[in-house]
Amino acid sequence: MKKNILSISIAAIVGLFAGWVIFENKNSVTEKTSGNNSQVDQNHHENEDTEIWSCSMHPQIMLSEPGDCPICGMDLIQDNSSQAGLALNEIKMTENAMALANIQTTVLGNESFNRNDNSISVSGKIVINEENNSVQSSYFNGRIERLHISYKGQQVSRGQLLAIIYSPQLVAAQQELITAASLKKSQPALYKAVRNKLKNWKLSEKQITDIESSGKIRENFNIHATVSGNVSQVMANEGDYVKQGQPILKVSNLSNVWVQFDAYENQIMQFKIGQKIAINTNANPNKNYDATVSFIDPILNTTTRTVTIRATIANKEGFLKPGMFVTGKIRISPTSTVSRSLTIPDSAVLWTGKRSIVYVKTSPNEPIFEMREITLGIKSGDYYQVIDGLKNGDAIVTNSIFTVDAAAQLQGKNSMMNKHKNHTIISDGELSVSKELESTLKAVLPQYLKMKDAFIKVDSKKVTKYAIEIQKGLEAIESNLLSNQEIIAIKEAVSTLSLIKNGMNINKQRDHYIIFNQSLITYFMRLENLSEPLYIQKCPMTNGDKAAIWLSNESIIQNPYYSTDMLTCGNVIYTINK
């Protein structure tokens, strides 16, 4: 019994000693590694602190921990962009989305990127040469009995009959002539004075001689054109009483015309009288005209901050019509600061208000893009001078930039439309829409809504039909009336419509429909005076969970990206013209 008690006591002592040794060793190891692990733990907590949890149906909900959506009760999901560690201005796209949108990037510094044709591109229009304007007036008081030239644009030739006028004043002068003719031997001075008065009223020598020899008074007299040209303004009508010297017609000689360009304030120092201009018209883009700068307006237009530059151009064939839009390239010195500066193509730039925006690819191996505001100088050819914001080696988006910006909006990141992160596509209002684009969008809106319905009904043939109609409408727009940003959006939309109409099946068409919507919906948002409201709707489960948007004239959700299984997936995020 005593031996058993002793054995148990010894075992207990050994156990306690072993526990003490193990505990001390563990404390020792912990103390040695605590310094290294503390930083890891801190980083881990920091990462946890930056985690964002959002609702797939209500992306405006952003919480710092998992849970339920306070609106619909769905489980919150972790924000993918936060997991990727992207900056505020960065977005990440899928490789598939990049391929569908044909997004292309170019590295600054390549030889092809720094080429410069030492010219500045300007836009302008054909106007009437005011030096060739003349007025056809009545040379005596009377009433217009007949007006042979009665509308604007008529061709007039020198000597052509313009009008027939009844003039009591001229009747009296004829009587004076007949009387003076009988006294010309006794009073030659009187006779000569009467004839000269009729000559001053533009009667021809033959007309005067006929009156004198016949002894008959004519009541109506013809007025003939003294110059050739086109009627630019009709200033009287048949039956009007006109006074001596009163204008009847304004005639413009269009054998040569003026070309007027608007040069921006920061371009003024690049222009001089005598510079050569290569001019091209939209009506005949294959024909170039050469002209010389003949006038630079000394006064700056304070509204547009531009100066008018003018050149005279021959127009013997009459092809150049006043009002035509033209583009011109003015040669500048090869030593100009433009040719020595970093330049980027105009297709890489988005404009909104006073901001110029590009998208820079920040990762060489991943499709990650950063929105960056830059400062631009003058435009030379198809390139802009970069004053600040970019450097050699930067890779920038040069094709489908509008699609990249639309993707940034959908991901709730900073973009051209929204300076501040907001998780919808609603902009800060800086984007403006030209009247030309607004009227075009209203014209194609019925076809857009029909195409959306065809997607819902899974009717690929009708999708193709309406895509063709929309494409024709967009291609007919006059690009000279659009901003650079609008031109980019239209080009991307037209390109995507081509892919939709050539799509092999409805799923392929839907992929391109996502890109098409991203290109134009931000412009649809600014339409006014619509007959009924439009709804921008969004499905967060589409486009690889990056979300997709579409337009509808009904607030009820019918998702064009899915068939019957998920037809009601989505929600209204904005109402147009409410």
Query: What is the Cβ-side half-sphere exposure of residue 116, based on CA atoms within 13 angstroms?
Result: 26
Pairing of strands 368-380, 355-361: antiparallel
Query: What is the Cβ-side half-sphere exposure of residue 405, based on CA atoms within 13 angstroms?
Result: 35
User: What's residue 420's pLDDT?
Assistant: 42
User: What's residue 402's pLDDT?
Assistant: 74
CATH topology of domain 90-118+339-410: 2.40.420
Structure tokens at 483: 């901003």
pLDDT at 374 over 70: yes
What is the average pLDDT score of the chain? 77
- From CA 534, how far away is CA 555, in angstroms rounded? 8
- The better pLDDT of the pair 539, 241 is held by 241
Across residues 400-426, what is the average pLDDT?
Answer: 61
143-173: per-residue pLDDT in tens? 888 888 888 888 888 888 888 888 888 888 8
Confidence (pTM): 0.46
Across residues 461-487, what is the average pLDDT?
Answer: 86
Q: Which CATH class is domain 131-252?
A: mainly beta
Residue 557: alpha-carbon gap to chain centroid: 32
Structure tokens at 21: 């040794």
Q: Do 552 and 535 meet the contact criterion of CB atoms below 8 Å apart?
A: yes
DSSP per-residue string spanning 198-228? HHHTT--HHHHHHHHHH----SEEEEE-SS-
- From CA 196, how far away is CA 201, in angstroms rounded? 9
Query: Within 10 A of 429 (CB to CB), how many other CB atoms are there?
Result: 11
Q: Do 100 and 362 meet the contact criterion of CB atoms below 8 Å apart?
A: no
Q: Which of 470, 474, 578, 473 is CA-nearest to residue 534?
A: 578
Least confident of 23-37, 131-145, 216-230, 231-245: 23-37
Query: For the stretch 87-99, what's the b/e string if a residue is b when 16 or more beta carbons lie within 10 angstroms of its beta carbon?
Result: eebbbbbeeebbe
58-88: per-residue pLDDT in tens? 554 556 677 776 655 667 776 554 444 676 6
Structure tokens at 328: 């011109």
CATH superfamily of the domain spanning 119-129+254-331: Efflux pump adaptor protein, beta barrel domain (2.40.30.170)
Start-to-end C-alpha separation, the chain: 98
Query: Within 10 A of 152 (CB to CB), how many other CB atoms are there?
Result: 12
- State phi, psi for 378 to the nearest 5 degrees: -80, 160
Confidence band, pLDDT 50/70/90 cuts, at residue 443: very high
CA dihedral in degrees (262, 264, 265, 266; nearest 10)? -140
Greatest CA separation found in the chain? 184
234-250: per-residue pLDDT in tens? 988 888 998 888 888 89
Q: What is the DSSP letter of 561?
A: T
User: What's residue 27's pLDDT?
Assistant: 46
* SS3 at position 372: strand
Question: ∠ at Cα 20 (16, 23), nearest 5°?
Answer: 135
Q: Do 404 and 104 meet the contact criterion of CB atoms below 8 Å apart?
A: no
**Residue listed under structure tokens 């208000």:** 353
User: What's residue 552's pLDDT?
Assistant: 93
Q: How many residues does the chain have?
A: 578
